[in-house]
Structure 1
Amino acid sequence: MKTAILIVDMVRDFTDPKGLVFYPENRNILPQIKEVLDLCRKNGCLTVYLQHFNREGKIDQKAASMRPNCIEGTFGVEIDPMLEVRPEDYIIRKRRYSGFFGTDLDLVLRENEIKNLIIVGTKTNCCIRATVTDAFYYNYEPYVVRECVATNSETVNEVHLNDIDKYLGHVIDKKNLEELFLQGRL
C-alpha cells in the first residue's frame, strides 16, 4: 500500500512570529514535522502540502468572519522554509478547513495509488480534524502523528486527538510511525 504525508497549513502566517495568526505551538512542532517528513521521504512517501489561502480583495464569506490571514500574494501563505519544498512535492491550495473540500486532493492521491495518509500540521481542532474526517469518508487510512499537530490549547488538542483515534483513524507517535515503516505496514 502506498503512503502519503499531508502537511496541513504549515504556512508562515501560522508558523512565523511575524505571521498574522501565529501560535507558538506551531513553531514548536516544526522540527518534529521536519523529522517525520524526512522519515517519510526516506520511505518513498508522496509529500503533499495543504496551503490555506484567501484571495486578496475577493468575496469569501467564511474568511470575512475571521481574522485576516493567509492572504494570497503575501509571505503568510508561503510554506515554512524549514520544511524544504521539493519540485516533486504537491502544493494544494485550500479555502476551507478540510484539505479535500473544493480541491483536487482526492484525485492526486488516487492517481498516485495512495491508501495511507500520515497527517501533520495545524490546527488539530479545525483543519486536522476536518481533513481526517474527510479522509475517513473517502476510505483512506489516516494516521495523525501526536508530536506533529497543535492548536492553541493543549486540552482542545487532546480532546480532538482522542476522538480521531476512537472514531476516524489512528493517533500514533513518531516511534510507532518508524515501527510501521519497518514492519512494511506503511
Structure 2
Amino acid sequence: MSTQEKTALILVDVINSFFEPGHPNYYKAVEDVLEPMRALRKAASENNIVTVHAVERHRPEVFHDFEWKKLPVHHLEDAHDADFFADFRPQGKNETVVIKRRFSAFFATDLALFLHEQKVTRVIIAGVKTNVCIRATAQDAFANGFEPVIVREATNSNRPHLAEASLEDIERYMGRVVSLDEGLEMLA
C-alpha cells in the first residue's frame, strides 16, 4: 500500500436476520463467513483502521417503504431481526454505524462523505449476501471513487451460482476479489 492509500473495513448486514437460525433470511452456509469476518475486524481494530457496520433498518410499518413492493416487511427499527448478531455490536473508537434502507451501504447514506473525510481510498467489504448487498455496495463504492475489495471467505449467498457470478463481475469491472490472507495483509 502506498502512502496515498488508506483502507477501511465495511461489514454489511451482520444482523440477526441473516445469522440467527429461525429467521427467514438465515441459511446454514452463512455461518461460514463468521470467523473470517471476526479475523478481519480484529485486524482492523489492532491497526486502528476504520470499521463501518452497514446495517439495514426500516421505519415502522405505518410509513410506506418502496422496498416492500418487492420484499416483505423486514428489519424494522428496534426489531430483533435488525439488531447486531452476537459479538458484532460496534465497539471501540474506530467503529461506526451506517443505517441503510436499500441494498447498497452507499445509496442515500453519508458513507461516501464519511470515508472521503477519513481519506479512505480502498474499502474491504464483507458480509451478506454476495449477489445483493455486497455487490450493490461494491458497485457504489467504485462509483464513489473507492477501490472495492471483497474477501472471498467473508461473504456468501444462499444462491451460490449468483454469488460466483457477482464476484466475477466485481473482479472484472469494479475492484478485486481476494483471499482472507490477502485481506488481512491489507489491514496490517
Identity across matched positions, percent: 30
Instruction: Tell me: CA distance 1:56–1:133, structure 2 relative to 1, closer, same or farther (3 Å).
Output: same
2:49 maps to: 45
Match of 1:24 among 25, 28, 31: 28
SS of the aligned residue for 1:142 comes to strand
* Distance apart, 1:87 and its partner CA: 4.4
CA deviation map 1:61-119 (0-9, x unaligned): 21242133212111111111232421431111100111111111011111211111000
Deviates more, 1:158-167 or 1:13-22: 13-22
Q: Which moves more between the two structures, 140-149 or 10-19?
A: 10-19
Determine the C-alpha separation between the residues in 2 that align with 1:25 and 1:43. 29
Change (3 A) 1:80 1:146: same
Cα deviations across residues 135-182 of structure 1 (Å, max 9, x unaligned)? Answer: 111110111000001111221111110110111000001112234456
The correspondence for 1:111, drawn from 108, 117, 139, is 117
Query: For 1:138-149, what aligned pairs fall within 5 Å after superposition?
Result: 138-149=144-155
TM-score with structure 1 length normalisation?
A: 0.91
Partner residue in 2 for 1:11: 15
Distance 1:82 1:181 in 2: 20
Counterpart residue number, 1:83 = 88
CA contact 1:94–1:102 (8 Å) conserved in 2: yes
Instruction: Look up the equivalent residue of 1:21 and give its one-letter code.
Output: N
Letter aligned with residue 12 of structure 1: N
For structure 2, list consecutive stretches of 5 or more residues without a partner in the other structure.
Answer: none
Distance 1:65 1:113, change over 3 A: same
Counterpart of 1:152 in structure 2 is 158
Q: Secondary structure at the match of 2:97?
A: strand
Contact 1:21 1:69 (C-alpha < 8 Å) held by counterparts: no
Structure 2 CA distance for aligned equivalents of residues 108 and 179 of structure 1 = 24
SS in 1 for 2:121: strand
- State which of 135, 141, 144 in structure 2 corresponds to 1:129: 135
TM-score by length of 2: 0.90
Give the Cα–Cα distance (whole angstroms) in 2 for the partners of residues 54 and 80 of structure 1: 17
Q: Cα RMSD over matched residues?
A: 1.5
The amino acid that maps onto 2:59 is R
Distance 2:141 2:88 in 1: 23
Rounded to whole Å, the distance in 1 between the matches of 2:22 and 2:138 is 29
Task: Report whether the alignment pairs 1:63 with 2:88.
Answer: no
Aligned equivalents of 1:121 and 1:82: distance in 2?
A: 14
Equivalents in 1 of 2:25, 2:56: separation in Å?
12
Residue 40 of structure 2: aligned partner? 36
